[in-house]
Amino acid sequence: MKPYVILNSAMTLDGKITTKTGNSEISGSEDLLRVHKLRKDSDSIMVGINTVIIDDPRLTVHKIPAEKSDNPLRIVIDSRARTPLNSRILNDEAPTLIVVTEKAPYENIQALKDKTANIDVIINGEDKVDLPLLMNELFQRGVRTLMLEGGSTLNYSMINEGLVDEVRVCIAPMIIGGVKAKTLVGGEGVNYMNEAFKLKLKKNYTLGKDLVLEYTVIK
């Protein structure tokens, strides 16, 4: 059993979710409201450790009216417990679950656990986080919906493991280029088109200057 997973991201027309320097302010103000509504409707939000280090996101509902209790559980996929102790994701606005592996140094785990009672750290996997196992664990903990907010590497692992149910992208009318600028889905990638992860378009609409596409993943 696993939560229902929606991969949500903003990208440029050339599929980039960040510039080569790590700047990722892509969505227009109307789309940001959609993102925060989706956060409010989700039990949890999950990101990879690089996103935490580069963007330092809060991952709370703060662009629409909301109570503290509307904030979803924040989940960080962080094999080696590298989450900086001053990250905004560790603030007391919402509970945070840091998922590490057996490779994580004990001192790092302890420092995270000691920071506040809001932070929980679990060990899951040997080298990289075992995502199918984690989804099962989250379901056991009562998490029924999960919003996957990137980045590129974690998006690939989640899709590749067959764990994503929906993909929602906001396409901003911009092109930025750059081979080093991360795309919506990175990771190892497939070899041939017939190995592609297939999607079915469910909905499309504009929000300000942006185009939003919602797909279900065909399994």
Ligand X SMILES: NC(=O)c1ccc[n+]([C@@H]2O[C@H](COP(=O)([O-])OP(=O)(O)OC[C@H]3O[C@@H](n4cnc5c(N)ncnc54)[C@H](OP(=O)(O)O)[C@@H]3O)[C@@H](O)[C@H]2O)c1
Q: How far apart are CA 194 and CA 178, in angstroms?
A: 27
Q: Are the CB atoms for 19 and 178 separated by under 8 Å?
A: yes
Q: How far is the CB of 38 from ligand X (least distance, A)?
A: 12
- Closer CB to ligand X, residue 45 or residue 73? 45
Least gap, CB of 183 to ligand X (angstroms): 9
CA 165 to chain centre: 14
CB of 151 to ligand X, least distance (A): 2
Cis-peptide, bond into residue 151, ω within 30° of zero = yes
Q: State which residue, 71 or 124, has the beta carbon closest to ligand X.
A: 124
- Do the beta carbons of residue 216 and residue 199 sit within 8 Å? yes
Nearest to ligand X of 14, 68 (CB atom): 14
Q: Say how far apart CA 13 and CA 28 lie, in whole Å.
A: 14
Closest CA to 54 of 79, 78, 24: 24
Minimum distance from residue 178 beta carbon to ligand X (Å): 12
φ, ψ of residue 143 in degrees (nearest 5): -80, 120
Closest to 13 measured CA to CA, from 174, 178, 214: 174
By beta-carbon proximity to ligand X, the closer residue of 186 and 208 is: 186
Residues near ligand X, by CB under 6 A: 9-10, 17-18, 22, 24, 26, 47-51, 54-55, 77-80, 82, 128-129, 131, 149-154, 157, 182, 186
Instruction: Supply angle C-alpha 151, 24, 82, rounded to 5.
Output: 45
Taking the complex as a whole, how short is the minimal distance between the CB of residue 129 and ligand X, in angstroms?
4
| 79 vs 96, beta carbon nearer ligand X | 79
Q: DSSP 3-state assignment of 190?
A: coil
Task: Tell the smallest beta-carbon distance from residue 128 to ligand X (Å).
Answer: 4
Closer residue to ligand X in complex, CB, 94/100: 100
